[in-house]
Structures are given as structure tokens and as C-alpha cells.
């Protein structure tokens, strides 16, 4: 969508969402239930949320600012009026807001928007690995004292990771010096980095740390992918928790 001669509109300033901290104040703006422009306030409850069983990449800002039907696509602001996120979803057992809302970080939105402007499409970088979340079971099986990060189950031949020496069984613990909590976080951060970019992966191999530099592939340069795969469960829909979860996208 392009707006012609937007003389009466003011462009919003975009903040660096990587600088957000839990406890920062936030304001959600939207049109809940068609009532008209509405602002609600809260705080940043958590950062880097994933595992919500929503389609696409997950690296959400969690906020307790009230988000309801009609808020999707609205702005999440800091107290300077700068954009820090795009309101996307809520956890809603009863169908309404219970103070657990999620927003796409502004840095991710800005990166993807700029790619659309420059190329007319989204170009996602690919590591060329398959893997899963690091867990207590995996740590026990490999006798490791780590339960966070991304466990590499397969490295695709010819991919950037294969050329850099990444091996199946490695645990990716950091990306460009920043610690990783999960495979979902790794996937989101890589997918918003342009193909051809060199990234540094911190690995744990046989209990010993090392670092490699990987040049990201394009989706057409090889069969490389970066998807969470558990072969034994492929094709199944498995709840992460025993309790039923209700997720609604607004």
C-alpha cells in the first residue's frame, strides 16, 4: 500500500527493540472490537517468546497492555511514542484479554519492510541445518551441563554450515556473540538476516566450546533449510504442555 502526498501524516519513529528490557513501560494502540482508536498501557513482561504454536517465525515481545480483537497490526509504543512492536496475538482462554499479549519486535518488522521496499520480496538467510530445542533429555543423553540453545540434528550437504564445519550433535549456544535460548530464537534471528551475510556461531561440541563463521545461504542456492524437526514425530501435532492451550490471533 502506498499513500500519495501524505502531508497531514507524521511518520512514527522506530526504536531499537533489541534495547528493550523486561519492566519497560509500553502502550498498545489499536481499534479493539471496532470501538475506534484506543490506547492501553502496561509493561514489557518478557522478550524472545517462542513455542506459541503460531505459524511463521516466533520471537515475540510479551506485554500485559490490553490487546483484543481489532488490535492486530496496531503499534506497541514506548513512553517516547516510538514504535517497539506490532501487536499480533494474545493468550485468551476465555476469548478476551487476560494480560498476556504478543507483539512482533520493531527490528524484525523494519528489516522485513526494508526488504519489501528494496526487492519486492522477503529474502531470508538460511543456515542449512535441521534441529530442535535443547532439553533436559538431550542434555542427559549427551552428558552435557547445558539446557539452552539449539541442538543440531542434521547439517545439509553443500550448505554454509557444512562448509564452516558445523556437525550433527553440535549445540549452538550463541549467534554473533549473543546467547541463544532456543532453536526458535535462532531460526527467527537467522531468517531476518540477508543471504550472504557472515554470522558467527558459538558451538558446544563434545562438551568443548568453539566458534565458526557461516555464510548464510539463500532459499534457492541449495536445499538448505532451518526448520525444527523431530523425525519420530514428523507429521504429528504434539502439545508442549499437558494442559490445553488457547491461542488467538487478533
The rounded distance, in Å, linking the Cα atoms of 175 and 239 is 28
Express each pLDDT in 35-66 by its tens digit.
888 899 999 999 887 766 665 566 889 999 88
Please tell me the least confidently modeled range out of 84-88, 96-100, 240-244: 240-244
- What is the pTM (predicted TM-score) of this model? 0.64
Fold for domain 129-231? Pdz3 Domain (2.30.42)
The rounded distance, in Å, linking the Cα atoms of 193 and 126 is 9
**Amino acid 239: pLDDT:** 37
Across the chain, the runs of DSSP E, i.e. the strands, are: 25-30, 38-49, 60-63, 75-77, 83-91, 101-105, 129-133, 150-155, 171-175, 178-179, 198-205, 208-215, 226-228, 247-249
C-alpha 47: how far from chain center: 10
Mean predicted lDDT score pLDDT of the chain: 79
Express each pLDDT in 133-168 by its tens digit.
887 887 887 777 777 888 999 999 999 999 999 999
List Cβ neighbours of 188 (8 Å cut-off, separation of 6 or more).
50, 57, 58, 59, 108
CA dihedral 33, 82, 91, 21 (to 10 degrees): -160
| Domain 17-119, CATH number (from 2.40.10.10, 3.90.1420.10, 3.10.400.10, 2.60.120.260) | 2.40.10.10
Where are the domains positioned within the chain?
Answer: 17-119, 129-231
The rounded distance, in Å, linking the Cα atoms of 188 and 181 is 12
Question: Does the pLDDT value for residue 244 go beyond 60?
Answer: no
Q: What are phi and psi of 57, to 5 degrees?
A: -80, 150
Whole-number Cα distances in Å, 189 to 41, 50, 213: 28, 12, 15
Amino acid at each position: 500500500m502506498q499513500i500519495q502526498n501524505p502531508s497531514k501524516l507524521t511518520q512514527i519513529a522506530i526504536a531499537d527493540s533489541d534495547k528493550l528490557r523486561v519492566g519497560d513501560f509500553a502502550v498498545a494502540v489499536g481499534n479493539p472490537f471496532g470501538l475506534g482508536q484506543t490506547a492501553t498501557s502496561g509493561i514489557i513482561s518478557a522478550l524472545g517468546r517462542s513455542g506459541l504454536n503460531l505459524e511463521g517465525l516466533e520471537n515475540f515481545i510479551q506485554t500485559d497492555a490490553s490487546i483484543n480483537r481489532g488490535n492486530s497490526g496496531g503499534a506497541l509504543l514506548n513512553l517516547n511514542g516510538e514504535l517497539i512492536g506490532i501487536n499480533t496475538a494474545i493468550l485468551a482462554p476465555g476469548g478476551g484479554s487476560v494480560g498476556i499479549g504478543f507483539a512482533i519486535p520493531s527490528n524484525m518488522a523494519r528489516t522485513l519492510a526494508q526488504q519489501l521496499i528494496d526487492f519486492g520480496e522477503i529474502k531470508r538467510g538460511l543456515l542449512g541445518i535441521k534441529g530442535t530445542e535443547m532439553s533436559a533429555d538431550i542434555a542427559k543423553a549427551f552428558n552435557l551441563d547445558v539446557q539452552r540453545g539449539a541442538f543440531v540434528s542434521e547439517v545439509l550437504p553443500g550448505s554454509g554450515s557444512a562448509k564452516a564445519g558445523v556437525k550433527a550433535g553440535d549445540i549452538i549456544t550463541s549467534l554473533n556473540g549473543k546467547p541463544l535460548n532456543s532453536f526458535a530464537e535462532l531460526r527467527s534471528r537467522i531468517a531476518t538476516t540477508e543471504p550472504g551475510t557472515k554470522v558467527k556461531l558459538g558451538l558446544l561440541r563434545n562438551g568443548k566450546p568453539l566458534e565458526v563463521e557461516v555464510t548464510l545461504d539463500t532459499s534457492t542456492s541449495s536445499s538448505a533449510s532451518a526448520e525444527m524437526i523431530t523425525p519420530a514425530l514428523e507429521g504429528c501435532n504434539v502439545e508442549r504442555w499437558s494442559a490445553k492451550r488457547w491461542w488467538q490471533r487478533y
